[in-house]
Chain A
Amino acid sequence: MHVPMQTSYDEDIRLFRHRVAALWYALLAAAVLAAPAILGDYHLLQLSLVAIYAIAGVGVMLLVGYAGQISLGHAAFLAAGAYGEAILRAEGWPFLLSLPAAGAAAGLLGLVLALSTSRLAGLYLAIATLAFAFIVEEVLTRWETLTGGSFGLMVGRITFGQVTIDAEWKFYYLAVGLLVLALLGALNLLRSRTGRALTAIRDSEISAQSLGVHPARYKALVLTISATLTGVAGALYAHRIQFITPDQFTILMSVELLVLVVVGGLGSLHGAVLGAIFIVVLPQIIVMLRDAFAISSAYQAGLDAGVYGLLMVLFMLYEPRGLHGRWVKVKLYLDIFPYYRKATFRRQRLFQKSERLR
């Protein structure tokens, strides 16, 4: 078991808490780098999809998991990034400019939403984001001169000057590289004053306020950052699927992103990645189950919805900390064996907490 012995305050905000962790991350990095040499194109495609979802997941995690603000409208930012990228690429912008621009477009949208909802919290914010996503979806469908309406838009390949991302492994490295940047950026943000302010707002807005944190300002900031990251993921997503229509960015996508962070584990960046793996692998498991039980594919839509819904309910009832939380528990169990107590992670009930009194 590892017993932390801190000799300086810097150790609290160090990226790797101890050397063993750094070693494991190095091994993981080696595995990720070596993947194209071992895996076929199909699995690489799935892995780059995981990376894309994970980037969006980091964005949603910052907002939902760390700042505690519920969003039911992140599909709007994903759409903004995807359409921004598609349109700018069609205009002939180089990828190195169009990707940040697509992210910035989504971020701007997030800022607009944040400014118009800065006085909202909790339930009202969730519904405002839902309304916002519906409006964005409708605009995408109706503004046919720009977005092609429901006919959709073709998205070309990524090119850096002479280099074209035409093979699966190139796209994979690009997506994973951007994911690593997003993760490092989020880690750095979270160990700064801003990150601590965000968790303070999540835990109690009133206490945060009395400690000198300006809730509206930080909420606007985190929503903008979250939207930007989701927009970058959207841009990659557009390149990944090469053809985008407004009905890919409905409320179901928003719910999927929410499921991602919930199943992954709220309040941990590991959770964002684990959740992304889960979201990509789950449909394949459903198909496998379907074939195993010889269920007609006519029931596919119902099966999908049912498994998603059931998992959301079961995770919330039995493992609200998600996959990451389960891992932490298993690790602690092994670390302090045989002294693990069942009550270590017992949930606290907040009988006095009321949304109505703010």
Chain B
Amino acid sequence: MQGLNDFGQMLLSGASIGCVYAIVALGFVLIYKASEVINFAQGDLMMLGAFLGYTFIGVLGMPFLVGVGLAMLCMGLVGAALDRVVLRPMVGQPVFAIVIITIGIGFVIRSVVIVTPGWGTETYTIAAPYAGGVSALGGVTVGNEHLAIIIAAIVLIAALYAFFRYTTLGLAMQATSQSQLAAYHVGIPVKTILSMIWAISAATAALVGVLLAPVTFVHVNMGFIGLKAFPAAVLGGFGSIPGAIVGGLIIGIVEALAGFYLPQGFKDVAAYVLLLVVLALRPQGLFGQTAAKKV
């Protein structure tokens, strides 16, 4: 019974951190689907969002939800600005160039955070109103901050699903991601849509950054969690939104289980070992779609 309880505990805490990976991976996938750009700066956007949240809530003393909303808004603007200034001139350039550019953006964001007075390389925390308590779910206890992540992930995914499925703007974004050229021909403002997708992606990054703050603290290196979200996105097949979510959950749970049952050190690489194994067996990821190219 104890063993089973432990297992349930690991499953739940793995799922909560998996939700973080899933939301960050979602950010990758949204951008990739729409513009075939792989945003290596996603983790750093999340970090910047967390710092903004810390400033609004911790320093300026705003209510939690207002601070989160404001951080998401600011990051949305940052995302749109990045797309307009840096990424748009790169449309039609090789994937390689864009990978380098987004890695560069990540470095610049880190540097901005380090140099900004009041941020720097210190560790901060955001006082969330729910933090500290625990809830019991049928013999398994879970910290409220973990629960908040899971709930937020479910709400966010439902909201995004509804947005893409039922609103005109969401449908326009879907069309853009299927074919930019065709979308252009039917009168969809592709450039504006791309900027909006960057904004949404950066805003979700801010949300997950703030939610993660009570668990891992706000630090300039928290963006490295984005590197764990890569395996999540790839595992799901990079262009698939449900894939990103399942991939994130798988990575989170495998990591938690590896940390509990395997010797020290396996926890940190479990995600990458899993990734290499999956890629060796299924080069397109678990949910990837492929079509043969016509020459």
Binding site for B on A (CB under 8 A): 64, 68, 70, 116-117, 119-120, 122-124, 126-128, 130-132, 134-135, 138, 141-142, 206-207, 210, 251, 255, 258-259, 262, 266, 298-299, 301-313, 316-317, 320, 347, 349-351, 353-358
Alpha-carbon gap, A307 to B107, bound state (A)? 8
Task: Check A70–B104 contact: CB distance below 8 A.
Answer: no
Q: Is the CB of B104 within 8 A of A308?
A: yes
Looking at the assembled complex, report how far the CB atom of B175 sits from the nearest CB atom of chain A, in whole angstroms: 16
Q: Say yes or no: B230 contacts A70, CB within 8 Å.
A: no
- Flag if A357 contacts B293 (CB, 8 Å): yes
Query: Is the beta-carbon distance between A134 and B269 smaller than 8 angstroms?
Result: yes
Q: Which of A135, A307, A320 contacts B93 (CB 8 A)?
A: A320
Asked if B230 and A347 sit within 8 Å, CB to CB, the answer is no
The answer to whether A306 touches B112, judged by C-beta atoms less than 8 angstroms apart, is yes
- Among B52-60, B94-102, B136-144, B158-166, the one that faces the other chain is B94-102
Known A123-B238, A309-B106; judge A303-B115 contact (CB<8 A).
Answer: yes
Q: List 26 A-B contacts (CB under 8 A).
A: A70-B99, A117-B276, A117-B280, A120-B279, A124-B283, A128-B279, A130-B230, A131-B230, A131-B273, A132-B272, A135-B272, A135-B276, A138-B269, A298-B120, A301-B121, A303-B111, A305-B107, A306-B110, A307-B111, A309-B108, A316-B93, A316-B97, A317-B101, A320-B97, A357-B291, A358-B290
Give Cα A56 to B193, complex, Å.
42
Would you call A127 and B101 a contact (CB within 8 A)? no
- Of all A-B residue pairs in the complex, the 9 with the closest CB atoms, nearest first, are A309-B107, A306-B111, A302-B114, A349-B92, A312-B104, A131-B272, A309-B108, A313-B104, A119-B283
Is there contact, CB below 8 Å, between B104 and A126? no
Q: Nearest-CB distance from B267 to chain A (Å)?
A: 10
> Which residues on the B side are within 8 Å of A347 (C-beta)?
93
A123 cross-chain contacts in B, Cβ below 8 A? 38, 95, 99, 238
Q: Contacts A142-B265, A306-B107, A358-B290 known; A316 to B276 CB distance under 8 Å?
A: no
Contact B93 A354 (CB under 8 A): no
Judging by beta carbons under 8 Å apart, are A350 and B94 in contact? yes
Q: What does DSSP make chain B's interface, helix, strand, loop or mixed?
A: helix
Knowing A120-B283, A128-B279, A251-B227 are in contact, say whether A302-B111 is a contact too (CB < 8 A).
yes
Query: Is the beta-carbon distance between A310 and B108 smaller than 8 angstroms?
Result: yes
Q: A306-B111, A312-B107, A356-B290 are in contact. Are A317 and B276 (CB under 8 A)?
A: no
Counting CB contacts under 8 A, is B173 at the interface?
no
In the assembled complex, B65 has its CB within 8 A of some CB on chain A: no
The answer, yes or no, to whether B200 is at the interface (CB within 8 Å) is no
Interface residues of B in 201-242 (CB under 8 A from A): 227, 230-231, 234, 238-239
Which of A126, A138, A141, A353 is B99 in contact with, Cβ under 8 Å? A126
- Nearest residue (CB) in A for B291 is A357
Q: Is B105 an interface residue (CB 8 A)?
A: yes
The answer to whether A306 and B90 touch (CB under 8 A), given A123-B95, A127-B234, A131-B275, is no
Q: For the complex, what is the distance from the CA of A306 to the CA of B109, rounded to whole Å?
A: 8
B154 at the interface (CB under 8 A from A): no
Residues in A neighbouring B89, C-beta threshold 8 A: 317
A-B contacts, CB under 8 A, total: 164
CA distance A131 to B110 in the complex (A): 22
Q: Report the separation of the CA atoms of residues A119 and B278 in the bound assembly, to the nearest whole angstrom.
A: 12
Question: 1/0 contact trace for B266-295 toward A, CB 8 Å?
Answer: 001101110110011001110001111101
A305 in complex: contacting residue of B92, B94, B110, B279, CB < 8 Å: B110
The chain B residue with its CB closest to the CB of A122 is B95
Tell yes or no: B66 within 8 A of A by CB: no
Point out the residues of chain A lying under 8 angstroms from B275, CB to CB: 127-128, 131
A122: chain B residues at CB < 8 Å are 95
Contacts of B121 in A (CB 8 A): 301
Known: A119-B283, A255-B103, A258-B100. 15 other contacts (CB 8 A): A120-B279, A123-B99, A127-B230, A127-B231, A134-B272, A135-B272, A301-B121, A304-B111, A305-B111, A308-B104, A309-B110, A350-B92, A356-B239, A356-B290, A358-B292
B234 contacts A299, C-beta separation under 8 Å: no
**Cα separation A68 to B293 with both chains bound (whole Å):** 19
A contact residues around B295 at 8 Å (CB):
206-207, 210
Q: Given contacts A119-B283, A310-B104, is CB(A70)–CB(B96) below 8 Å?
A: yes
State whether B239 touches A316 (Cβ < 8 A): no
Which A residues touch B92, using CB under 8 A? 349-351, 353
What is the chain B residue whose CB lies nearest that of A310? B108
B90 interface neighbour in A64, A127, A316, Cβ under 8 Å: A316
Q: Are A313 and B115 in contact (CB under 8 A)?
A: no
Among candidates A142, A259, A262, A302, residue contacting B115 with C-beta atoms closer than 8 Å: A302
Bound CA span A258–B104, Å: 11
Give 1 or 0 for each of B62-94: 1 = CB within 8 Å of chain A CB. 000000000000000000000000100111111
